[in-house]
Amino acid sequence: MEPIRETLKRVVNAPAFSERYNAMRQEVLEHPGVQHFLDEHSSEIDKSIVDKGMGKLYEYIDQSHDCNKCPNLGACINHLKGFEPNLVLERGNIGISYTPCRLKNEHDNKRRASSLIHSMYMPKEVMEATLSGFELDASRVEAFNAVDSFLDATKGPGELPEKGIYLYGKFGIGKSYLLSAVANALAEKNIKSVLVFVPEFMREMKQAIGDQTLQEKVNYVKKADVLMLDDIGAEAMSSWTRDEVLGTILHYRMAEKLPTFMTSNFSYSELQHHLTYSQRGEKEDLKAARVMERIRALTTPVKLDGRNRRI
């Protein structure tokens, strides 16, 4: 039986194997990344080191670089999914180190950003909103510019404008979408937002009395870095929810100068009328005016117009 060493020698010396090896070697050495690496270490690397490290060099060129062979993170072809190879010289030998790729960094940034947004009863599709996805026309420019100005003035956590925006307009024109797009843009600046769908939140507050979590939930909302109250005025407002819940939240945020956003189908004057009458039909002008005073102090009214995008 022929010794294994002799068999390997015969295979390696075969013309076909030699041709394939030379073609592979040429492909490796012509790769821009390999050439750059060899140029950087020209004083440390000789032919013997290159020959010895040919396997590592081929492993390097066979993978994706800057995600050029990967349509998305899930379809990453690299040996370590989400990591791209980098050639290194280790104790006179060519090796490979791996660092997170562009797609993985984008994915991780999105996950980190989403963790900065706490949604309370907001639809999932709205929570994925982006400013680039906001359809812009003449009737929507004012609202977009107001949002853009707020974001431009926001430098980072603890460096936010004191006043938010009160977006109002008819049903289905994209107020909630724009609110969520702002939250996502703020998350990219490492700023946490709490988005609250007001009608459901008010129902939750009534239930919270029974399970003794009312104060905890009110405190969480009122102390948010940025609070976004969606669809205020759509709820059946009682004197208690208006004064003890909404009024408490708004008073705290006004005193602490914390930015607050709101959306509503009502203008300021229409909302004040809505807040004036309780579920029992009681007219309470002074209490409604007190809540509206806080809303005016916290927000700048901006009308959003356009077609109903839910049809």
Per residue in 214-266, pLDDT (tens digit) is 888 899 999 999 999 999 999 877 889 999 999 999 999 999 999 999 999 99
Report the pLDDT value the prediction gives residue 294, as an integer from 0 to 100: 97
Regarding predicted confidence, which is higher, 192 or 3? 192
Structural domains of the chain, ranges and CATH numbers in brackets: 31-103 (no CATH), 116-303 (3.40.50.300)
Q: Is the pLDDT of residue 12 over 70?
A: no
DSSP secondary structure, the chain, as one string = ---HHHHHHHHHTSHHHHHHHHHHHHHHHTSHHHHHHHHHTTTT--HHHHHHTHHHHHHHHTS-STTTT-SSGGG--SSSTTEEEEEEEETTEEEEEEEE-HHHHHHHHHHHHHHTEEEES--HHHHT--GGGS---TTTHHHHHHHHHHHHH--BTTB--S-EEEEE-STTSSHHHHHHHHHHHHHTTT--EEEEEHHHHHHHHHHHHHHT-HHHHHHHHHT-SEEEEESTTSS---HHIIIIIIHHHHHHHHHHT--EEEEESS-HHHHHHHHHB-TT--B-HHHHHHHHHHHHHHEEEEE--S--TT-
Report the pLDDT value the prediction gives residue 110, as an integer from 0 to 100: 65
Q: What is the mean pLDDT of residues 181-190?
A: 91
Q: Which residues pair with 167 in a beta bridge?
A: 263, 302
Q: What is the mean pLDDT of residues 266-294?
A: 90
Rounded CA gap, 58 and 16, in Å? 19
Report the pLDDT value the prediction gives residue 139, as an integer from 0 to 100: 87
Q: Is the pLDDT of residue 141 over 70?
A: yes
Regarding predicted confidence, which is higher, 39 or 311? 39
In tens, the pLDDT along 201-215 reads 998 888 887 778 888
Banded pLDDT at 16 (limits 50, 70, 90): confident
In tens, the pLDDT along 82-96 reads 999 999 999 899 999
Other residues' Cβ atoms within 10 Å of the Cβ of residue 5: 8
Rounded CA gap, 9 and 6, in Å? 5
Q: Is the pLDDT of residue 8 over 50?
A: no
Regarding predicted confidence, which is higher, 309 or 212? 212
Q: Which two tokens stand for residue 13?
A: 């010396």
Report the pLDDT value the prediction gives residue 112, as an integer from 0 to 100: 61
Rounded CA gap, 68 and 63, in Å? 9
Q: Is the pLDDT of residue 4 over 70?
A: no
Report the pLDDT value the prediction gives residue 7, as an integer from 0 to 100: 45
Yes or no: say if 214 and 247 are a contact pair by the CB < 8 Å rule: no
Q: CA-CA distances (angstroms) from residue 38 to 52, 86, 94, 191, 293? A: 14, 13, 10, 44, 69
pTM above 0.75, yes or no: no
- Indicate the angle between helix axes 268-276 and 285-298, nearest 10 degrees: 150
Percent of the chain with pLDDT over 90: 60
Report the pLDDT value the prediction gives residue 38, as an integer from 0 to 100: 92
Q: What is the mean pLDDT of residues 88-110?
A: 87
Q: Is the pLDDT of residue 11 over 50?
A: no
Regarding predicted confidence, which is higher, 213 or 269? 269
Backbone angles phi, psi at 225, to 5 degrees: -55, -50
Q: What is the mean pLDDT of residues 41-67?
A: 91
Banded pLDDT at 157 (limits 50, 70, 90): confident
Other residues' Cβ atoms within 10 Å of the Cβ of residue 283: 9
Quick one: 63 exposed, middle or buried, by C-beta within 10 A (0-12, 13-18, 19+)?
Answer: buried
Banded pLDDT at 78 (limits 50, 70, 90): very high
What does pLDDT average to over the chain?
Answer: 87
Q: Which two tokens stand for residue 136?
A: 């812009």
